[in-house]
């Protein structure tokens, strides 16, 4: 017989979609369930995300969970040791090192739950998200509702005229649109 308990294998779960699709809400739900199960949980977010709180991951519905803001993905590996579950919000804002960080944590037996935008405001794959989805054990793509027609929305349409890829904002800056309405909005721009 084994003298010590074998460590369970870890995994990578990715929750992706457009703005207002419930990504962070789902991340918080999964992390709270892990906490309820008395698992040791650490939650991280990029330090640049200060829309609602400096130290909490907050959904658009105002649900929140305490987190640690970090400057880069390497910090997650350093701070996320000796835990059962690691949650990462707004993964699209991290450097490409986040992919290796998630793989190392999962290989070490940690359940890694990542949430982030899969596409930027131009409809292009966003940051490390495509690679995270490729190495994930599970991928859940969630959808918002198109504010123009009511169909499932997969795009985050920017309402402001800024050209920076990263422009933090809420409903005054972005709206969820389906493919058809997104294409129409961009052809009229």
Decide: 49 and 168 in contact? Cβ < 8 Å.
yes
Which is the catalytic residue, given 13, 26, 42, 90? 90
Closest CA to 29 of 41, 11, 20, 17: 41
Give the torsion through C-alpha atoms of 131, 133, 137, 142, to 10 deg.
Answer: 170
- First and final CA of the chain: distance in angstroms? 68
Alpha carbons 140 and 15: distance in angstroms, whole number: 5
The answer to whether 25 is a known catalytic residue is no
Give dist(CA 24, CA 17) in Å, integer.
10
Just list the catalytic residues: 90
């Amino acid at each position: 017989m084994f003298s010590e308990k074998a460590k369970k294998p870890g995994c990578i779960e990715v929750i992706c979609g457009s703005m207002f699709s419930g990504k962070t809400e789902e991340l918080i739900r999964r992390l709270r369930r892990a906490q309820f199960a008395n698992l040791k949980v650490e939650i991280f977010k990029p330090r640049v995300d200060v829309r609602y709180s400096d130290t909490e991951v907050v959904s658009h519905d105002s649900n929140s969970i305490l987190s640690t803001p970090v400057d880069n993905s390497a910090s997650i590996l350093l701070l996320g040791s000796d835990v059962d579950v690691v949650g990462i919000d707004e993964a699209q804002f991290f450097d490409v090192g986040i992919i290796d960080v998630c793989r190392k944590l999962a290989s070490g037996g940690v359940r890694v739950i990542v949430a982030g935008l899969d596409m930027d405001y131009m409809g292009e794959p966003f940051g490390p998200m495509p690679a995270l989805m490729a190495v994930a054990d599970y991928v859940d793509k969630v959808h918002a509702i198109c504010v123009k027609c009511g169909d499932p929305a997969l795009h985050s349409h920017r309402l402001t005229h800024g050209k920076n890829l990263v422009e933090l904002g809420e409903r005054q800056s972005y709206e969820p649109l389906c493919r058809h309405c997104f294409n129409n909005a961009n052809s009229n721009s």
